[in-house]
Structure 1
């Protein structure tokens, strides 16, 4: 696994982030200078209720618009502990002993939606992807025996993070997917082995064949994307195991903040790319984080897959960090 983000990938991130031309030279120049936008942006798992708590901020979600992975509006009651969400809200204010804000738009961001291949004691295999489950993983109340309540061929939704270094998924929430059989599956993670000539790439253990109607701008190894894949394999794995199963991609969306500018921004997740020896821009949950405006005591020791928490502001789709801290080990 190449831990360093390539120059081409860095250029793609910053070009997508730029809202106009003209930059200044020197290490003190921000990636995309802007005055910022009013309000807040957060990306991370829901850790508590009494409002919803994301990245330590209490968001009142009662009047927010909540969307699932298909962009469909759902009830705010759909939000559960351990779900990874991306949200925009009002300016965060410190009231009493806590930080709080009004959530405006909330998107649920599952890592995997699909059938179970097999169930272990503390692991699941979903569509060939290994999912690690720990005491920190929230398991839906419909599964009273935890993983033992699940069996092969059932459909699940997994929230969490793709650790590209180990090529596993670290689950923050697991729930059985009830109702009709889904008309597509979902895989969200770091793009690898991109082959644009033959129209293939890999996310985790899933090889995906794609023929998009239009090019996905910025598609590159190391970017994080959400792919919808067909429920029918493009081609099965070979009997001798020399060739992997290939999934037929339907739609792929590269991760990027839902808004370009916010005065306050936070993200809790895993490092998905590193470029500390070049531009000082890393990626966390696929989101570009510029660490050049701060003294980052932990950045030099970071590896892909490490859990971190970032605070700063969102400037032209890049989180300009004023704080980066290591989170609990996965």
Structure 2
């Protein structure tokens, strides 16, 4: 029998919040330290009963955030303009969107279950300038950095974006005021953006950044181009209620108009999005795994994506830590400073085995997809999984050497985005590698390939049934999946024809999606 492939991950931005029970257990077991500091040593991951993972979505089918694949069916998902309210986000979460996920997680196995997901919004507005050579956009006076791993919708690259376009940008705020984009949605007009995202009609402009200076009723942001933007918020709603705005706060500003010629903007709403605000646990002790870009290095003090890090007591990697490197930092948070216990350079890899019983080697990747193939083109070696175009080439590794791909076959794909296309470094047809054996005939392997090998995944689409619950279909923009709901547990809502749903399940050997959990999104 074939076996599952173990994965070794690194994690972009992880914040583990200990619930009060975990703190009590830690104290009872003698954990922590009282040697001149109120900050305890990092707790063992097994003690963590509540987690917050904040970062960009690097995988789909369910979502992958910072190396952990979260089940999301039944989770409360809050939309970006109201992350502390009750407004539900009812669309599919897309690759490159930034989110804050609360729930439970097994950090060692890279799996978790989300209870609350907040869409962590970024910039919104009309494009002010495009610099293809520099790889940047200007939006609302702020600099947006774009690289090959930025996921784009509505354009194939910077060359396809004009100053008449409106954009919705997700990414990572930097201390210098620039914004590293992980996803950009491009629209031909303001009306096009509002049609796709109706909340934009209320707040057509948003800015995102780290507060540089703060005064009564106003604060400033760097604009990423040696200038500043002044945000006047005296009459604005500041959320969550009661939170203060100070230098170093991570904020998102919602407004009716872009900054004026003097670089000033009148805020209608200010969202404070520090990890401590995004978590509902609000414990005194936090264990953090942070992956980000090094903004500055002064002795043993780093600034990583706006967070100050003390590495004086940390285990450090070989080689110098320098500005603009992507690193991973682990430690505890004390008075806003991350006291690091370990610093590592960015890496993520999975094991690849050429044939059953053979030796394994490491394959690098940044993004991952779990789902059924559609739009397969044998001539171009391209196909679509979870709405993302995938391309294989001579460097792609096929687990156990099974290379036969076709529409409706379930695959796990790992690779790296390149201008909106996932270049596959490894493809695993799970139905074959899990259920097949050495010596199986090609026809048996092909039949096994129609199943997902017991692996569960999640899909979105419109539900219709000719005979409910045994003969149904979930239709998305890229494929139609035969679906059986006999054993399904309804997490939210109930069956209604043509409802838009999110479902979790597995493919049987007849390529029927056997649903285990389902919810109505709208």
Normalising by the residue count of structure 2, what TM-score does the alignment of the two structures yield? 0.47
Q: 2:104 aligns with which of 69, 73, 90?
A: 90
Taking the aligned partners of 1:306 and 1:225, their CA distance within structure 2 comes to 24
Judging changes above 3 Å, is the alpha-carbon distance between structure 1 residues 173 and 213 closer, same or farther for their aligned structure 2 residues? closer
Taking the aligned partners of 1:325 and 1:117, their CA distance within structure 2 comes to 37
Bigger relative contact order, structure 1 or 2, given CA contacts below 8 A and separation 6+?
A: 1
Q: Which residue of 1 aligns with 2:92?
A: 78
Report the RMSD for the aligned CA atoms in angstroms. Answer: 3.8
Deviations along 1:74-100, one digit per CA (max 9) or x if unpaired, are 13x5311111211112131544xxx11
**Deviation, structure 1 residue 153:** 3.8
Taking the aligned partners of 1:138 and 1:292, their CA distance within structure 2 comes to 36
Q: Which residue of 1 aligns with 2:264?
A: 246
What secondary structure is seen at the aligned counterpart in 1 of 2:342?
Answer: strand
Contact 2:173/2:306, CA 8 A, preserved across alignment: no
The structure that has the greater radius of gyration is 2
Contact 1:111/1:187, CA 8 A, preserved across alignment: yes
Taking the aligned partners of 2:65 and 2:152, their CA distance within structure 1 comes to 18
2:154 matches 1:152? no
Contact 2:53/2:102, CA 8 A, preserved across alignment: yes
Aligned residues: 286
Q: Which residue of 2 aligns with 1:110?
A: 121
**Deviation, structure 1 residue 202:** 2.7
Judging changes above 3 Å, is the alpha-carbon distance between structure 1 residues 30 and 198 closer, same or farther for their aligned structure 2 residues? closer
Contact 1:119/1:125, CA 8 A, preserved across alignment: yes
Q: 2:149 aligns with which of 127, 136, 145?
A: 136
Instruction: Point out the more displaced range, 203-212 or 264-273.
Output: 264-273
2:345 matches 1:326? yes
Taking the aligned partners of 1:208 and 1:48, their CA distance within structure 2 comes to 35
Deviations along 1:49-95, one digit per CA (max 9) or x if unpaired, are 232221111112222222221223113x5311111211112131544
Taking the aligned partners of 1:120 and 1:263, their CA distance within structure 2 comes to 40
Q: Which residue of 2 aligns with 1:189?
A: 209
Taking the aligned partners of 1:169 and 1:118, their CA distance within structure 2 comes to 15
Contact 2:152/2:184, CA 8 A, preserved across alignment: yes
What secondary structure is seen at the aligned counterpart in 1 of 2:121?
Answer: coil
2:58 matches 1:47? yes
What secondary structure is seen at the aligned counterpart in 2 of 1:73?
Answer: coil
Contact 1:32/1:315, CA 8 A, preserved across alignment: no
Q: Which residue of 2 aligns with 1:172?
A: 182
Contact 2:175/2:306, CA 8 A, preserved across alignment: no
Gaps of 5+ in 2: 1-22, 24-32, 187-192, 348-522
Judging changes above 3 Å, is the alpha-carbon distance between structure 1 residues 110 and 117 closer, same or farther for their aligned structure 2 residues? same
Normalising by the residue count of structure 1, what TM-score does the alignment of the two structures yield? 0.70
Taking the aligned partners of 1:78 and 1:118, their CA distance within structure 2 comes to 30
What secondary structure is seen at the aligned counterpart in 1 of 2:158?
Answer: helix
Q: 1:228 aligns with which of 254, 260, 263?
A: 254
**Deviation, structure 1 residue 127:** 0.8
2:221 matches 1:202? yes
Contact 2:144/2:181, CA 8 A, preserved across alignment: yes
Contact 1:41/1:266, CA 8 A, preserved across alignment: no
Judging changes above 3 Å, is the alpha-carbon distance between structure 1 residues 31 and 207 closer, same or farther for their aligned structure 2 residues? farther
Contact 1:34/1:316, CA 8 A, preserved across alignment: no
**Deviation, structure 1 residue 189:** 1.0
Deviations along 1:247-266, one digit per CA (max 9) or x if unpaired, are 10222233322223488643
Taking the aligned partners of 2:207 and 2:319, their CA distance within structure 1 comes to 28
Gaps of 5+ in 1: 1-18, 238-243
Taking the aligned partners of 1:326 and 1:220, their CA distance within structure 2 comes to 30
